[in-house]
Structure 1
């Protein structure tokens, strides 16, 4: 087999927002430890859940990854997170490997599916995503813009609500990363807060 053939992706890369793998293709991340690339697939709005991330003041080992949504969620579930357990129990389109999105996987959801026309939050790391392909840059007022995908625009069937959603990436014993889907603010919410989750799954490219 030629080097070119060996380098060819194992799967065809879909278009952003294309129905794929039980949900909608939302971008590519690279595992910083292994270098492997993954397609990320976002579940439809009908599968959103609401709940606490975990217990305030309790640090969960194994839930710190910015890219491995599944490992984070499994660690959360093992520690007793009901929200994580509910996500792991999902069967959507015959796929059962759903997870709460890791921080940099969630950033792609906002980058490509931003529902509103609000000015973007410009503070901290909001928008910075070294593990995405292409690499994500800090937000500006205008970038990212409201998605051009009609189904994900505010009020449409698949749109994110302009409120806070959990990621599975733990920040400390007291809070975990979240994102507000009105303006893209990435911050840390207290773990015992009730926030939404839009599940994801991933598929290895190479």
Structure 2
């Protein structure tokens, strides 16, 4: 058994949307040849705030998959929102983060709250780092989530609003996503958007 296996034994994965390690299982991403189970916090733990300071490029906050590294870089640079997320203790787990862009895409793909047609103009839905690989959205796919607790007006549902990812685009902008129609875009870092925290567990 390798040292990695001793520290992080294989994780038995539940179905998407099932309670798991402090939140709800929201899908698998790959980084550096390793697979990670992503966990989304419950709606009660959402936060609202600015991503950071407009015009300031933060080193180390550019990953599309490593939510924690991005968030730690943001917090070190003075982001109040990132600091609040890092301070969370949910179900005894303290490694929460603002979701990286491709981790956030899984949240929409698997927990879409509405029955509205998806926005599908640019690269919305393109996710080379998920398993299965995420394909471009169509108007019909993804459909409203089959998980009742995450449907609109249900306890765990995402709001039909914009949510921050922790993935930086430039000194002025960071990636964000609209959870009413699935539009993936960039937003001025000084705007106040919502965050649904995530954490991850190494699978293998």
**Shorter-chain TM band:** over 0.9
Rounded Cα–Cα distance in structure 2 between residues aligned with 1:11 and 1:96:
18
The CA deviation at 1:14 is: 1.0
In structure 2, the residue matched to 1:43 is: 41
In structure 1, the residue matched to 2:11 is: 11
In structure 2, the residue matched to 1:149 is: 147
Rounded Cα–Cα distance in structure 1 between residues aligned with 2:192 and 2:121:
23
Runs (5+) with no aligned partner, structure 1: 2-8
Q: Cα RMSD between the aligned structures?
A: 0.9
Task: Kindly indicate whether residue 195 of structure 2 is the aligned counterpart of residue 197 of structure 1.
Answer: yes
Q: Map Cα deviations across residues 144-171 of structure 1 (whole Å, 9 max, x no partner).
A: 0000111000000000001100000001
In structure 1, the residue matched to 2:23 is: 23
In structure 1, the residue matched to 2:62 is: 64
Rounded Cα–Cα distance in structure 1 between residues aligned with 2:149 and 2:10:
28
Q: What's the TM-score once normalised by structure 1's chain length?
A: 0.94
In structure 2, the residue matched to 1:6 is: none
Alignment of 1:130-141 (within 5 A): 130-141=128-139
Q: What's the TM-score once normalised by structure 2's chain length?
A: 0.95
Over 6 Å off, 4+ runs: none
Task: Kindly indicate whether residue 53 of structure 2 is the aligned counterpart of residue 55 of structure 1.
Answer: yes
Rounded Cα–Cα distance in structure 2 between residues aligned with 1:125 and 1:71:
24
The CA deviation at 1:13 is: 1.4
Q: Map Cα deviations across residues 67-123 of structure 1 (whole Å, 9 max, x no partner).
A: 000000000000000000000000000000000000000000000000001110112
